[in-house]
Amino acid sequence: MEIGAPMAAAYILGNPDHYTSHRFQPVYWKSYVSEVLKSYDAVNANERIDLDHTEKLVLQKTKRGYSGYTPIMDYIYRSDIYKDVNLYDWIRLSRRSALPKEKIFKDTDDSNEDESETEHMTDIDTDINLAESDLENDTRVENEADQAETPKKKKTIDIRKLTFTKGHPQYGTHYTTIVKEEFGVVPNFTGGALPRSDSGDREFYCTTMLTLFKPWRTGLDLKDNQLTWDDAFHQHGFSNRQLQLMTFFNICYECYDA
């Protein structure tokens, strides 16, 4: 059997048999919306029925015994350094890693937090951005040429500041980092199509968009009880990129209508 030279070269070099320009990450978006709606008593019955079945719980064994885990916990209990990172950017750019054994720390009182702080310091390459609240940065393109000529530097940080907060089953054993745009993935929303903006349940649409693009730990962070979801949607200052993404989300419905 004959094979082409490119395929033979790829095999010898250990390269994959195909090329993709992007990596895709499946996201069960309804689970996050359901978590947000748990903070409010007045939830549409149809929404509750549609959302309840989507969440899956994984049992993990820890030193304290068994505990339940869902990917939602990673976002809810993210480090305070990342408090301004919205869910959409968190899915694209966050990476979870286990702490080195020598850096794993136990639950201690606040009085012991400053003890031996230098033992928990680590070097983080500048490929990782810390607490980058506006991850689209319009000025990045202009600065790329200058950054390419500048040698990479390393930042020394307290790695404990990157760990999950208390309440996460992997608190004290795992940490997260935010990578640069070139290493980001593309969210692949599964479990049903995102709601459309021009018809249907407007409140549910606004809930979903705020869940994706406004930072939160509980649903109460997204709106006041006195506001409707539509009011909260119009009051929030979405970036130009986020508004563009919302337009893209609606393209499939425009194709169906054509």
Give the predicted TM-score (pTM) of the model. Answer: 0.74
Tokens of 65: 């015994």
pLDDT on residue 218: 94
Tokens of residue 207, six digits: 């809930």
Give residue 144's pLDDT.
46
Distance CA(215)–CA(118), nearest Å, equals 31
Confidence (pLDDT) at 120: 44
What pLDDT does 116 receive? 38
Q: For residue 20, what pLDDT is reported? A: 82
Is residue 209 assigned to a domain? no
- Three-class SS of 58-73: EEEEECCEEEEECHHH
Please indicate, yes or no, if residue 40 is contained in any of the structural domains: no
The answer to whether residue 200 sits within a structural domain is no
Residue 206 within a domain:
no
Question: CA 8 to CA 2: how far, in whole Å?
Answer: 10
- Sheet hosting strand 128-129, strand order edge to edge: 94-98, 174-179, 128-129
Q: Is residue 186 part of a domain?
A: yes
Does residue 59 sit within a domain? yes
β-sheet bridge partners, residue 186: 24
Asked if 94 contacts 177 with a C-beta cutoff of 8 angstroms, the reply is yes
Residue 151 lies in a domain: yes
Residue 238 lies in a domain: no
Q: CA–CA distance from 228 to each of 6, 198, 221 (Å)?
A: 58, 17, 14
Closest CA to 207 of 223, 193, 188: 223
What pLDDT was estimated at residue 62?
63
Residues in Cβ contact with 55 at an 8 Å cutoff, skipping those fewer than 6 apart: 28, 31, 34, 35, 70, 72
Tally of domains in the chain: 1
User: Which residues constitute the domain of residue 94?
Assistant: 55-105+113-190
CB-based burial of residue 91 (10 Å sphere; 0-12 exposed, 13-18 middle, 19+ buried)? buried
* Under 8 Å between Cβ of 82 and 178: yes
- The enclosing H or E element of 121 equals strand 121-125
Vertex 29: Cα angle to 25 and 33 (nearest 5): 150
The rounded average pLDDT for each run of 10 residues, N- to C-terminus, in the chain (258 residues) is 85 83 93 93 52 61 69 93 96 90 54 39 45 43 46 64 84 88 95 92 96 97 94 97 96 88
Q: Where are the alpha helices (DSSP H) in the chain?
A: 5-13, 29-37, 45-52, 71-76, 87-93, 140-149, 202-213, 229-235, 240-249, 251-257
What is the pLDDT, as a whole number, of residue 234? Answer: 97
Helices (H), 156-201: none
